Homo-oligomer: A and B are copies of this chain.
Amino acid sequence: MEINAMSLSDHHTDRPQCRQQRPSSANLAFKGKLFEVWQWNQTLFDGSTARFETLRRPDTVLVIPILSNGDIIFAEEKQAGMSPLLHAVGGRIEPGESPEEAARRELLEESGYVAEEWSIWDAWQPVMKIDWAVYLFVARQLSVASAQHLDSGEKIRLRFISARQLLDRESDLELDDYELLYKLYQARSSDSERQRVAKLFGI
């Protein structure tokens, strides 16, 4: 898979760092299904000591797949114990996978599509106290490769929203995807950023 270099200026493509770094003395206080809790003793400015705590969770990918008619594929997901959520295609990066491999796998599993053209919109860490990177990809030149391959806990219906509407400053955004909403508001918040993202979208 080739990553489109045009889009990379001024935006992260390497893994962004957590703003609150764990020192090497930090110890793993708890390892859950998804989250790890790390703690260490930190000397404060007045010489006293406090126990500090941060989390780790697996990095995730989000994919914006754009069809040739300008529609973007979203996933409306029903999960046990939750009301339906409308979010970007994506999920966890598995051990040993690169972000690009995870993006390609999640696109195929959740939508049945493959894409020939990949760009990265941005990569960032959304929460100060959690070591967790999110990679946001744009996928173009799509074609259907198979049916969806869903996990036993997933029910996903594909939904389509036009790329123009997502970038239109006066259109409502009904998405339940906080990380994507952040980047969409950011794209709508200045003319230069909106132009950059429109170019990524190919519109």
Tell yes or no: A165 within 8 A of B by CB.
no
Contact with B along A41-58 (1 / 0, CB 8 A): 011111010111101010
Q: Count the A residues whose beta carbon is within 8 Å of the partner chain — how many?
A: 52
The reply to whether B33 and A53 contact each other, CB–CB distance below 8 Å, is: yes
B residues less than 8 Å from A48 (CB atoms): 152-153
Cβ–Cβ contact B45 & A128, under 8 A: no
- With a cutoff of 8 Å between Cβ atoms, the chain B residues found around residue A37 in the complex are 30, 32, 35, 37
How many monomers of this chain does the complex have? 2
- Tell me whether A20 and B82 are in contact in the complex, defined as CB-CB below 8 angstroms, given that A55-B55, A169-B189, A189-B185 are known contacts: yes
Q: How far is the CA of A80 from the CA of B129 in the complex (A)?
A: 14
The answer to whether the Cβ of A95 comes within 8 Å of any Cβ in the partner chain is: no
Q: Is A188 an interface residue when CB atoms closer than 8 A count as contact?
A: yes
**25 interchain pairs, CB-CB under 8 A:** A20-B81, A23-B81, A29-B30, A29-B32, A30-B37, A32-B39, A32-B53, A34-B53, A42-B81, A44-B153, A45-B152, A46-B152, A46-B153, A48-B153, A55-B55, A57-B129, A126-B126, A126-B178, A128-B178, A170-B190, A178-B182, A185-B185, A185-B188, A188-B189, A188-B190
